[in-house]
Amino acid sequence: MTNHWIDIRNSDVILVMGSNAAENHPISFRYVLEARERGAKLLSVDPRFTRTSARADVYAPLRSGTDIAFLGGMINYILENGLYHREYLRLHTNATFLVDPRFRMPGELDGLFSGYNAETRSYDKSTWGFQRDENGVPRTDPEMEDPNCVFQLLKKHFSRYTLEVVSDITGTPVKKLEQIYRIYGSTGRPGRAATIMYAMGWTQHTVGTQNIRTMAIIQLLLGNIGVAGGGVNALRGESNVQGSTDHCLLFHILPGYLPTPKASLKDLATYIAKTTPTTGDPQSANWWGNRGKYITSLLRAHFDTSLTAADEFGYQLLPKLDDGQNASWLMLFDRMIRGQIKGFFAWGQNPACSGSNANKVRRALARLDWMVVVNLFDNETASFWKGPGMDPARIDTEVFFLPVAASFEKEGSVTNSGRWAQWRYQAVEPLGDSRHDSEIMNELYFRVRQRYAAEGGAFPDPILKLSWNYGFRMPDGRVRKIDIHAVAREINGYFLRDKVVKGKSFKKGDLVPSFAYLQDDGSTSSGNWLYCQSYNGNGNNMARRSHRDPSGIGLYPEWAWCWPVNRRILYNRASVNADGVPWDRKRPVIWWTGTRWEGDVPDGGWKPLSQPGSKKSFIMLPDGVASIFGAKMKEGPFPEHYEPLESPIEANPLSGTRNNPAMKLFHEGKDRLPEDVFYTSDKRYPFVATTYRVTEHWQTGVMSRNTPWLLEMQPQLFVELSPELARERGIGDGEKVRVSSGRGSVEAIAIVTRRFRPFRIRGKTIHQVGLPWCFGWSTPNAGDSANLLTPTIGDANTMIPETKAFMVNVEKLG
Ligand SMILES: Nc1nc2c(c(=O)[nH]1)N[C@H]1C(S)=C(S)[C@@H](COP(=O)(O)OP(=O)(O)OC[C@H]3O[C@@H](n4cnc5c(=O)[nH]c(N)nc54)[C@H](O)[C@@H]3O)O[C@H]1N2
Ligand SMILES: Nc1nc2c(c(=O)[nH]1)N[C@H]1C(S)=C(S)[C@@H](COP(=O)(O)OP(=O)(O)OC[C@H]3O[C@@H](n4cnc5c(=O)[nH]c(N)nc54)[C@H](O)[C@@H]3O)O[C@H]1N2
Ligand SMILES: [Mo]
């Protein structure tokens, strides 16, 4: 989230689209309802009428996978009706920038941007740049009238998204579109704010990243980023998924969003030179210019501090990706099924049910030599070898199961969606032989280290030179018990020798006060620069529990701690005009007193934009302003509607380019697998399907299916379908049906409900159905995972699987 949970109460308009917050983020609804009591409007856009929709002022249905069309129509509406915040655009975004005149857009190139290469399915982005002066600073037209300026290009691009065209793609009635556009567009006026609450309904698509980009453009047009009650707010999933992303859950980033080294970045100097952005603009803070300090401090935390600059502080000990290598979820199981991955730790996950195309995942597990499952319970992954369709006699995978302690049996920090790192305490002792995850890792580290120390091996140094200072060492070198506070302090970082920084002297062993003090000479360590300040000379800031709120807008600056540097609302320098005066005087986030900023921690302490020595407000981007034109995206600098890989219509109504042209295809080429089949506008699979969660179960249900009262409330797999479709197929409410796709099938109970309505699209009736994905075969009579139906295909930028839009058939069972 750019903002945070409590801040939702400051909104005037709340759009819940691509999430079902009432059921999946129930605590958030406290703030949604508070806002509504103040007169805020709640809008719900979902293919299915949900409990969120039930509370909404306006509900609009849309066909799964058509959000860019829906939101593209909103951009067009905002521009046509002059609802945008002109001054905000000029000060804080690249709307005024002039684009390369060679740049071409989908309206001219039948759905493609200039530079497409069909063979590599990728773009040569050389025409996607800005016109720049001799210092490399983008040329602008402050009046935003030049036909090559971003604002005019945006207007031209989205002029194709008329109400009629949008309705024809999404199936949403024109009246509903207009109603939602009008209400949301009303927040372009200074003093009004709208927020977006989204989650997996937007991300799990082949165009997932661009769904969110489209919304970010809307928020910028309306001046809604940086202000209270605004922002682009991803409602994160698992309680600590924000923390795990911050600390490098994903393959392509190290802690603190530093890029993972690649083979071609052959030494630390090259890594820093090639990954550090530069700017010629004296008004750009270009904060990532500090990359060298952050990566060096990270290496100092990872590895033995006896390593020196001559050893590149251990850079060569970090794992490196091959150039162009993608090691995301879909690729892991793809490589596994091809026999290229032999061992696997399934640590706190259940891929046999959560993985898209679960039959492929399950067959991949059967190709392993060994698998270690670290979990609270046995599940469909640990026992895959005795699951449906498996012959244990023919499976050689050796499975080890390590029982783990549950969250309330452990101490540590959890970072919520609002970036707040909050400290939690252990409530009870772990049951039986189960242990804290960190104790299991400690034991694993010690055993592996012992073998490397004794036997050498191909490359022992990454293990032998790892620093592991997490507690009292026994005579054999083993850490007796992991001190989780030592881990937290390592993440914050230390001074490794006496040092004077910014006129302050520090002693070796002092905790670094905040990331502004980190160094690139090896004198500081920090396991994650973004968390530098979380645990410093003031103690464990994540454990703070003060209810003080001097802001009056719910910032609560002394409750826990949030990254970066306790800033509660990101991009807050965009909440003020060039003189530092808040756009919204009722709910100011920061303001300039004439000598300093007050309010939230400002996004950089420089003076307001109208004063000399100031810096632009989007400090993480080298041009210093927010990207309405975003050339980093794989499929184009502006979002464009493409159909999901599997869709019910033959052609993309907007162009001859049917699907995302930059996504990786698994179903083409000579080495494609039989598991990777797709059927689009095919009579055998005529219905759009989506998957979602239920309040009563958690994820694949491993924890909740083992809780009898929750299982009693939601005992088995169901499929929701409209009365119209039920009649067409002769299916009665509560009857057993088979739902099938090209990849597999499940048996489910039919719930005939008006929560789903047929769509009228291009003159045809199109039905959509939906299933939860929380069940698995190991719970008797519960049915199996809906992921037996979903495809192996991912977003072009992130490779998140497209589990929210695919095609199925539904048939009544005997
Ligand atoms: N009770 C409970 N709460 C949970 C979880 C749980 O398992 N159970 N899981 C947690 C986790 S890890 C996560 S990531 C979050 C996920 O939170 P959400 O994203 O809210 O979860 P979902 O129910 O998967 O999907 C949300 C909605 O997207 C809709 N949808 C489907 N396709 C589309 C589409 O194309 N466009 C739009 N606009 N909407 C679409 C679905 O109908 C559904 O209502 O929930 C978290 N909270
Ligand atoms: N079709 C479809 N598929 C989806 C989604 C969807 O919307 N639709 N959503 C996707 C999303 S957003 C997510 S996050 C994934 C989730 O996918 P997974 O992470 O694979 O699924 P979970 O069921 O959350 O698995 C977590 C496991 O961790 C165990 N566990 C709980 N606490 C601890 C602990 O403290 N330590 C350890 N070691 N284990 C613990 C639980 O028992 C559980 O088995 O699924 C994805 N799959
Ligand atoms: Mo999630």
The DSSP code sequence of 402-438 is EEB--GGGS-EEEE-TTSEEEEE---SPPPTT-B-HH
Give the number of residues written for the chain.
814
- pLDDT number for residue 87: 98
Q: If you average pLDDT over residues 140-161, what whole number do you get?
A: 98
Q: pLDDT tens across 121-133, in order? A: 999 999 999 999 9
- pLDDT number for residue 341: 98
* pLDDT tier at 261, thresholds 50, 70, 90: very high
Task: Calculate the dihedral angle through the C-alpha atoms of 448, 441, 483, 302, rounding to the nearest 10 degrees.
Answer: 70
φ, ψ at 749 (rounded to 5°): -90, 130
* pLDDT tier at 276, thresholds 50, 70, 90: very high
The yes-or-no verdict on residue 530 having pLDDT over 90 is yes
* Residue 422, helix vs strand vs coil: strand
Q: Which ligand is nearest to the CA of 234?
A: 1
Q: If you average pLDDT over residues 530-539, what whole number do you get?
A: 98
Q: Which ligand is nearest to the CA of 693?
A: 1
- pLDDT number for residue 680: 92
Fold of 674-812: Barwin-like endoglucanases (2.40.40)
Q: If you average pLDDT over residues 86-97, what whole number do you get?
A: 98
- Distance from the alpha carbon of residue 492 to the mean position of ligand 2, in angstroms: 28
CATH entry 3.20.20.100 includes domain 6-238:
no
- pLDDT number for residue 668: 86
Q: If you average pLDDT over residues 534-545, what whole number do you get?
A: 98
What's the CA gap between 602 and 617, in Å, rounded? Answer: 10
Q: pLDDT tens across 705-728, in order? A: 999 999 999 999 999 999 999 999
Residue owning the nearest CA to atom 35 of ligand 1: 64
For a mutational test of ligand 1's pocket, the pick from 1, 5, 15, 19, i.e. the residue with the most ligand atoms closer than 8 A to its C-beta, is: 19
Q: Are 305 and 525 in contact (CB under 8 A)?
A: yes
- How high does pLDDT run on average in the chain? 97
- Distance from the alpha carbon of residue 240 to the mean position of ligand 2, in angstroms: 12
Q: If you average pLDDT over residues 329-335, what whole number do you get?
A: 97
For a mutational test of ligand 2's pocket, the pick from 375, 707, 798, 799, i.e. the residue with the most ligand atoms closer than 8 A to its C-beta, is: 375
- Distance from the alpha carbon of residue 707 to the mean position of ligand 2, in angstroms: 16
The yes-or-no verdict on residue 477 having pLDDT over 90 is no
Q: pLDDT tens across 746-783, in order? A: 999 999 999 999 999 999 999 999 999 999 999 999 99
- Distance from the alpha carbon of residue 237 to the mean position of ligand 2, in angstroms: 9
**89 closest CA partner among 133, 140, 156:** 140
Q: If you average pLDDT over residues 418-444, what whole number do you get?
A: 97
* pLDDT tier at 669, thresholds 50, 70, 90: confident
- Where does residue 497 rank: exposed (0-12), middle (13-18), buried (19+ CB within 10 A)? middle
| Max CA separation in the chain (angstroms) | 81
Percent pLDDT > 70 in the chain is 100
Q: If you average pLDDT over residues 396-407, what whole number do you get?
A: 97
State the CB neighbour count (10 A cutoff) for residue 27. 9
Q: If you average pLDDT over residues 604-624, what whole number do you get?
A: 96
Q: Which ligand is nearest to the CA of 698?
A: 1
* pLDDT tier at 582, thresholds 50, 70, 90: very high
Ligand 1 atom closest to Cα of 770?
Answer: 42
The yes-or-no verdict on residue 272 having pLDDT over 90 is yes
Every domain of the chain and the residues it spans: 6-238, 251-322+494-531, 674-812
Q: If you average pLDDT over residues 154-181, what whole number do you get?
A: 98
| DSSP state letters, 671-705 | T--TT----SS-TTS-EEEEEE--TTS-TTSTTTT
Q: If you average pLDDT over residues 791-801, what whole number do you get?
A: 97
Q: If you average pLDDT over residues 220-249, what whole number do you get?
A: 96
- Distance from the alpha carbon of residue 237 to the mean position of ligand 3, in angstroms: 4
Ligand 2 atom closest to Cα of 701?
Answer: 23
Q: Are 268 and 293 in contact (CB under 8 A)?
A: no
- pLDDT number for residue 54: 98
- pLDDT number for residue 500: 98
The yes-or-no verdict on residue 814 having pLDDT over 90 is no
The rounded Cα 15 to chain-centroid distance in angstroms is 18
